[in-house]
């Protein structure tokens, strides 16, 4: 379960996404350079597809066990985020995962429209499917928010059927949103795509209605990359302390309820005229994380790593230890005030500074920030036995996996 936002306004192009997955699933940020290929095929998560001769450079946020990615941007300024959607009919037992299609589209597309067409072609030729759960079976169809500096599209699917619509600013969540107002449909005839293909039980249980209402409310007022970060940190109005009770209804999702995942990675992208700056947490739980800058194409530095660098997974695990220590605690307002002041200073400097130099400063100040708060005695909050039990089970496994 996830949420993605895209904004084209006043000459700005802004993108953001939270990736909500199993709380124990590491998700790493990797910069993959452009490449020429001689091989005829490539192996995605479950199936092989023909390889192309040349692929674009991409920055990916990737669950470590998958070939594909949850979030990404390429060297042409194309950004894509994908969402699980729950539809009528049987899901594919195998095929391309939504994450596979996202990565393939970024590697092969020079514009948002190219990426849209590539996604449709991949869907129609290979189909979508395969288990996408880390520690449990989880099958679904996919929707995508695709944008560059000039165009923004939403593509929604059910099996090999699809519909898309062009926007200037919008958000998507774990539900179909295109009715009979789409710009194009598989088969060529417009119809109420949402009504015909929505599976309502899982869609309602996903909390996506509340989350999309939150992001749509934010979308109307977003004017800066800092606003994107704030939108990714929103909690449902009825949640007093997200560290004391899980909720699928918050854009910043917290595990702990009977159902639901956890925000395991967050990314905000500023598609500037002359440079693309990515702000990423490199960790779960954006409400207690800091977004750090990375200029697309520069030498990778934490939280961005080279492909297959073992330090990437270790980085995610190291960041997660602080967040696990907050489960069942109350966090003082001073923590969030200091987070905002620190991040605000970085955003201000990013307007004029060399991003690679700023990143060094950010890394040092982030380390100091968490060292300070790691020694703080956070007071315990009232939590239910079920919440404590569910987190205890996950954390026991997390400790074993992180030490493996």
Catalytic residues: 2
d(CA 16, CA 208): 17
Distance CA(150)–CA(145), nearest Å, equals 14
Phi and psi (nearest 5°) for 171? -140, 155
| Residue carrying structure tokens 């079920």 | 386
Pair 369, 338: CB distance under 8 Å: yes
- Only one residue has tokens 């084209």, namely 8
């Amino acid at each position: 379960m996830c949420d993605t936002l895209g904004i084209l306004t006043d000459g700005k192009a802004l993108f953001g996404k939270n990736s909500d997955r199993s709380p124990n699933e590491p998700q790493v940020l990797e910069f993959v350079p452009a490449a020429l290929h001689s091989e005829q095929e490539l192996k995605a998560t479950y199936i092989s597809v023909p390889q192309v001769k040349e692929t674009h450079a991409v920055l990916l946020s990737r669950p470590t066990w998958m070939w594909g990615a949850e979030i990404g941007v390429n060297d042409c300024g194309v950004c894509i985020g994908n969402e699980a959607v729950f539809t009528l009919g049987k899901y594919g037992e195998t095929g391309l995962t939504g994450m596979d299609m996202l990565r393939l589209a970024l590697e092969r597309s020079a514009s948002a429209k190219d990426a849209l067409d590539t996604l449709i072609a991949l869907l129609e030729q290979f189909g979508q499917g395969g288990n996408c759960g880390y520690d449990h079976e989880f099958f679904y169809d996919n929707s995508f928010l695709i944008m560059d500096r000039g165009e923004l599209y939403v593509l929604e699917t059910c099996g090999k059927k699809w519909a898309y619509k062009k926007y200037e600013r919008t958000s998507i969540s774990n539900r179909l949103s295109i009715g009979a107002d789409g710009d194009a449909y598989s088969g060529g005839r417009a119809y109420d795509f949402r009504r015909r293909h929505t599976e309502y039980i899982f869609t309602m249980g996903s909390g996506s209605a509340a989350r999309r209402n939150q992001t749509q409310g934010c979308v109307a007022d977003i004017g800066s990359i800092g606003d994107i970060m704030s939108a990714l940190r929103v909690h449902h109005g009825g949640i007093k302390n997200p560290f004391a009770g899980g909720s699928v209804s918050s854009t910043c999702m917290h595990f702990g309820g009977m159902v639901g995942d956890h925000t395991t990675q967050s990314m905000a992208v500023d598609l500037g005229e002359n440079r693309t700056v990515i702000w990423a947490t490199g960790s779960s739980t954006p409400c207690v994380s800091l977004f750090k800058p990375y200029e697309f194409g520069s030498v990778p530095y934490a939280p961005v790593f080279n492909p297959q660098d073992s330090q990437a997974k270790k980085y995610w695990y190291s960041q997660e230890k602080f967040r696990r220590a907050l489960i069942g605690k109350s966090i003082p307002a001073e923590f969030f005030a200091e987070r905002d002041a620190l991040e605000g200073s970085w955003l201000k400097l990013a307007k004029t500074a060399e991003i690679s130099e700023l990143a060094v400063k950010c890394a040092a100040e982030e380390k100091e920030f968490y060292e300070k708060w790691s020694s703080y005695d956070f007071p315990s909050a009232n939590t239910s036995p079920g919440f404590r039990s569910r987190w205890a089970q996950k954390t026991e496994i997390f400790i074993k996996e992180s030490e493996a």
